Structure 1
């Protein structure tokens, strides 16, 4: 892999998202989707944290940058993230919910439900939805520092 300290801004962002996804997975989250896009914008990572849906905004900065990752989310960005999370839930949650139900039933050894039961309206995640910030600071030397701020937005 190329030295992340010499990456372009887009390259640094992609590097940060890779580091963030790895850290979230190591922390027990199940990543459902990465880089989901619609006409209004993009969600970096959508994951399950237990029974809570975590919409994760990844902000990556160079150690030499003037702004901390957490300073990059203003009220406008927070409102956009909330809107995108609602849209993702409406469009994508039923698909993921159906897969989760089928996987759980297979693990329990019970017969899969008929398609009508799975294809019905998906209930919201039992633990609700939260918007997290994953701040990645890429140092000049050594491993990136990653901070997962749950419910930051």
Structure 2
């Protein structure tokens, strides 16, 4: 399996989620199952089935987090610099169609959250940005049609 690139902040957030799910959520779900079991007939016990479903979802996410954290390649953003876009860069773009500015940080897949301004390194817009410089224009094919962007600023935190 290949390493999963991520920022230190992303790694900390995933590790915190893992800790919460194993030390807080898991015991609460086990308690909910025990309480539901005490109510009797399990075949028609909605609380029991809901708690078991919650347990299954939680355990699945715990396994996913274990895999991600084991394969994590934490990249120290303080050591990055340069004039071209690469992993960890925070890029300010101008949408050439709407004249709207957007700022995105290019991060690893598990920590991506477009609404928070973090886009995945494997997203179409990030792939189009990699290797480009300030002043370059890119075109990104999107479900709603192609969009053109100009790179206004590149910074490394």
Name the TM tier (shorter chain): under 0.3
Q: Give the TM-score normalised by the residue count of structure 1.
A: 0.23
Q: Give the TM-score normalised by the residue count of structure 2.
A: 0.23
In our comparison, the structure showing a higher alpha carbon Rg is 2
